[in-house]
Structure 1
Amino acid sequence: MAGSHGGSLKSWLAVIVILAGFTVGGVALCFGPNWPLVWAGAGIIAVGGVIALLVDIFSDVIVDAPRVLASEKVDRKG
């Protein structure tokens, strides 16, 4: 995955688990609120956070070389 800021699959696993927790908790708040399901969503988010810490998600960034864009001459009429 060179040349992108994509990260690795293990980091995406943590992100997907956290997103699933937010989805479960958000749906539970809309339908009720169903508090046990809200807390289940919070628990899923916590599990995703632990996964993120275990896979060291913050150091899993692929940094590109800085882009240099050619400057263009702007022709302004008027």
Structure 2
Amino acid sequence: MTSAPKYYHHGRSPAAWAGSIAAAVGFIIVAIAAMLGPNWTLVIIGAAIVLVAGLATLIMKIMGFGQP
């Protein structure tokens, strides 16, 4: 007998939390880097973190840690 997947209301899933927090960190890094001159190395690192956050969210959702 299989159990139904856990229902998360309004995106309160581990995938959503991980992606949101990682993307927020990336955006903060980009914002700080933009104010520092801009420091293009940090801008690219921050943007890469945002992209990895989206990819991690997608992978976690596929693994069953997100909303169906």
What's the TM-score once normalised by structure 2's chain length? 0.71
Match of 1:21 in 2: 26
Distance 1:5 1:48 in 2: 19
Query: 1:28-62 deviations in whole A, cap 9, x for unaligned?
Result: 001110000000001101110111111228x627x
Once superposed, what is the RMSD of the aligned Cα atoms?
Answer: 2.3
Distance 1:53 1:6 in 2: 13
CA contact (8 A) 2:23 2:49 kept: yes
Q: How does 1:44-63 map to 2 (within 5 A)?
A: 44-56=49-61, 60=67
Greater radius of gyration (CA):
1
Q: How does 1:1-78 map to 2 (within 5 A)?
A: 4-56=9-61, 60=67
CA deviation after TM superposition for structure 1 residue 9, in Å: 2.4
Distance 1:6 1:60 in 2: 7
How many percent identity over aligned positions? 36
Higher helix share goes to which structure? 2
SS in structure 2 at match of 1:32:
coil
What's the TM-score once normalised by structure 1's chain length? 0.63
The total of aligned residue pairs comes to: 59
Gaps of 5+ in 1: 62-78
